[in-house]
């Protein structure tokens, strides 16, 4: 990925995040790396639960962790799974990204293949609902 933003070291970091997944029910490990505006790394992984709806996705784990640690401005997020091709964030994560990130923030999707796909928050949730719709 040569867009002048993405850094190769983010791949190693997101793989490290993925190792922290807790997935006794799906065995589908997802890692997320959130990069703050001052280049700090916030790690996320999916954390499952015997009561399945209580599971939380990697992307949201990273975002809520960032907020809880007083980090609110982000440069990008990288998401990795073990799928053959980069997997796509779920609808709930798209809505949460819409709430907490800029519409034009890059979302990099990658997988075992090493392929990196770039989208923005707005690409993933066009015409998404936000607080502006309630004004
Ligand atoms: N998962 C994520 O962590 N992110 C997504 O965007 C899609 C799904 C997790 C949730 C669950 O732990 C597992 O992947 C299977 O759905």
- Residue 94 is predicted with a pLDDT of 98
CB 33 within 8 A of CB 78: yes
| Superfamily grouping for domain 9-130 | Cytidine Deaminase, domain 2 (3.40.140.10)
Q: pLDDT tens, 39-59?
A: 999 999 999 999 999 999 999
d(CA 43, CA 12): 12
d(CA 67, CA 42): 10
**107 Cβ neighbours under 8 A, 6+ residues apart:** 76, 77, 79, 89, 97, 118, 119, 120, 121, 123, 124
Q: pLDDT tens, 117-133?
A: 999 999 999 999 999 99
* Segment holding 56, helix H or strand E: none
- Residue 19 is predicted with a pLDDT of 98
Q: Establish whether residue 89 lines the binding site of ligand 1, counting it when its CB lies within 6 angstroms of any ligand atom.
A: yes
d(CA 103, CA 42): 19
Q: Cα of 51 to ligand 1 centre, how many Å?
A: 15
Q: Count other C-beta atoms under 10 Å from residue 54's C-beta.
A: 9
Q: pLDDT tens, 64-111?
A: 999 999 999 999 999 999 999 999 999 999 999 999 999 999 999 999
Sheet holding 41-45, edge to edge: 41-45, 31-36, 74-80, 106-110, 116-120
Alpha helices per DSSP H over 1-135: 9-18, 58-68, 91-100, 121-124
- Residue 81 is predicted with a pLDDT of 98
- Residue 8 is predicted with a pLDDT of 96
- Residue 45 is predicted with a pLDDT of 98
Q: Would you say 101 is a known binding-site residue? A: no
Regarding pTM above 0.85, the answer is yes
- Residue 95 is predicted with a pLDDT of 98
Q: Establish whether residue 109 lines the binding site of ligand 1, counting it when its CB lies within 6 angstroms of any ligand atom.
A: no
- Residue 58 is predicted with a pLDDT of 98
């Amino acid at each position: 990925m040569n867009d002048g933003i993405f850094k190769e070291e983010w791949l190693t970091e997101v793989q490290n995040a993925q190792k922290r997944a807790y997935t006794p029910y799906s065995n589908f490990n997802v890692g997320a790396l959130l990069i703050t505006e001052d280049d700090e790394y916030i790690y996320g992984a999916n954390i499952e639960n015997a009561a399945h709806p209580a599971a939380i996705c990697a992307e949201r784990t990273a975002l809520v962790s960032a907020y809880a640690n007083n980090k609110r401005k982000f440069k990008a997020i990288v998401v990795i799974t073990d799928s053959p091709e980069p997997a796509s964030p779920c609808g709930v994560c798209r809505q949460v990204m819409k709430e907490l990130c800029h519409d034009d923030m890059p979302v990099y999707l990658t997988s075992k293949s090493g392929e990196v796909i770039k989208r923005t928050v707005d690409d993933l949730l066009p015409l998404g609902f936000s607080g502006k719709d309630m004004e």
